[in-house]
Amino acid sequence: MLDQALQEKLNDRIQHGLYRKLNVYEDKIDFCSNDYLGFSKILSSENAQHIYIQNGATGSRLISGNSFLAEQTEQLIADFHGKESALIFNSGYSANLGLLSCLAQKGDTYIVDEYIHASIMDGAKLSYANKYKFKHNNVVDLEKKLATAQGKKFVVVESIYSMDGDEAPLEAIVNVCEKYQAYLIVDEAHATGLYGPKGEGIVAANNLQDKVYAIIYTFGKALGLHGAAIVCNQTLKEYLINFSRPFIYTTALPPSIYIQLQKAYQLLPQVDRIILFDLIYYFKQQLSQTTFKFIESQSQIQGLIVGNSKQAHELSNYLLQKGIYAKAIVSPTVAIGSERLRICLHMFNTKTDIDLLVQEINNFTK
C-alpha cells in the first residue's frame, strides 16, 4: 500500500519530466560541478602527508568531537573573512538549517530573497518566526516588506545566486537593512574563494563585515572539500553552540578536514582568479554571437534558459553523448518556465572546451 502510494508520486514526477535520479559521470568535460578552482583535485594529490590524524571525530563537538585543530581552524577562517568568530557545521545545508531554525523567535520576521537556497527556506520553516519573500534582488520590494515587518527583522540573501549566478546588490541591501534596523545574513556559498583579492568573498571584499550579522561560507564548492562555517560575533557563536540542533546533535566532521581546510585557506590568496574571470568573459563573448537566451550573470554560473524540463533534459543528455556534462535544472528547483541548462565554469576548463560546448549547443538547437 505505502509503496504503491510512493510509486504514484514518482510516476507523477516521471510524467512531468521532473524525476530525479542518481547518475555517475566521471569522464566528461566538467561544466557542472561547483569545484570552481579545481581544488578538489589539487588538495587530494597532496594528501599523502604522513601525519597521524584519526579517521572519525568520535562524537559531536560538544561531546568528544572537539579538538584544538577544529578551534584553530575556526579562528583562521574568522580572521580570513574579517569577523570575530566562526563555527563549523557539517555542510552548508546544516549551517543554514541550524542558523535559521534557532535565530529568529516567535513574533520576529525573516525576509528572504525569493530565489534563496532551499536550506535557508527549510531553516526558516523550522522556526516559529514570520516568513516573507521579496522579489529577487529587488530592494524596493525588500523595503516594502521591511516597513511592515514585526519583531526583530532578519534579511537573508546570497551574494552570488546558486542557480542564476547573478550578484545581490549588497550595498543597497545593507543600507535598507540599516534604515529598518534589520539583521542581514549573507550566504556566500558560491562566492567563497572566488571573489575579493584573497578569495575572501564579496562581503569582506567590500568591507561590509561589520554591517552583516552572519555570513555563511561553504567548503564543498570552490574549496573542493566539505562542510561550512557561520562567521559571526562571539555571542552568536555561543548561542549556536547552545541552541542550533544541526550543530549539537551530530557527529563532527572527520579531523582530517581541518588540515585540508587550513591548506585550502593558505592556497586561496595565491590563486590567479583572473584565469577564471577571463574564461567567463570568453564564454560570454562566444554567446553574444548566438541567439541563446542567457540569464544575466557575470559569474562562473551561467544559465541557458530552455523553458521546459523535457527540453532541458534532452539538451543535457545530448551534451553527455558529446562528452560534456552540464546539468539540466528543472522545477521545483527553479520556477516553471525558467528550466535551464546550468553551466559552471572552472579554472581548469579551456577555451577549446568552451568552443566545443557552444558548438554542440548550437548543433542541438538547429
222 contributes a contact to ligand PLP by CB under 6 A: no
Which one of residues 170, 228, 264, 271 is an interface residue with ligand PLP (CB under 6 A)? Answer: 228
Q: Indicate the helix (H) or strand (E) that contains 209.
A: none
195 contributes a contact to ligand PLP by CB under 6 A: no
Q: Can you tell me whether residue 66 is helix, strand or coil?
A: coil
Which one of residues 187, 200, 339, 353 is an interface residue with ligand PLP (CB under 6 A)? Answer: 187
DSSP category for residue 252: P
Residue matched to cell numbers 529598518? 180
Report residue 157 as a C-alpha cell.
Answer: 540573501
Minimum CB–partner distance for residue 168 and ligand PLP (Å): 11
Minimum CB–partner distance for residue 147 and ligand PLP (Å): 27
Please give the residue whose beta carbon sits closest to ligand PLP in the complex: 92
218 contributes a contact to ligand PLP by CB under 6 A: yes
How far separated are the first and last CA of the chain, in Å rounded? 47
Minimum CB–partner distance for residue 119 and ligand PLP (Å): 5
Q: Is 128 exposed, middle or buried, given 0-12, 13-18 or 19+ CB atoms closer than 10 A?
A: exposed
132 or 217: whose CB is closer to ligand PLP? 217
In order of 129, 158, 176, 310, the CA distances from 140 in angstroms are 23, 17, 9, 35
Q: Can you tell me whether residue 11 is helix, strand or coil?
A: helix
32 contributes a contact to ligand PLP by CB under 6 A: no
Contact window for ligand PLP (CB under 6 A) among 88-96, 172-180, 286-294, 354-362: 88-96
Minimum CB–partner distance for residue 93 and ligand PLP (Å): 4
The one-letter amino acid code at 229 reads: A
Identify which of 222, 140, 152, 226 has the alpha carbon closest to the alpha carbon of residue 185.
Answer: 152
Residues numbered 237-266 forming contacts with ligand PLP, rule: CB under 6 A: none
Contact window for ligand PLP (CB under 6 A) among 38-46, 90-98, 291-299, 347-355: 90-98
Minimum CB–partner distance for residue 366 and ligand PLP (Å): 33
Minimum CB–partner distance for residue 189 and ligand PLP (Å): 4
Instruction: Give dist(CA 59, CA 53) in Å, integer.
Output: 15
Identify which of 294, 291, 288 has the alpha carbon closest to the alpha carbon of residue 341.
Answer: 294
Q: Which residues bind ligand PLP (CB under 6 A)?
A: 91-93, 96, 117, 119, 158, 162, 187, 189, 218, 220, 228
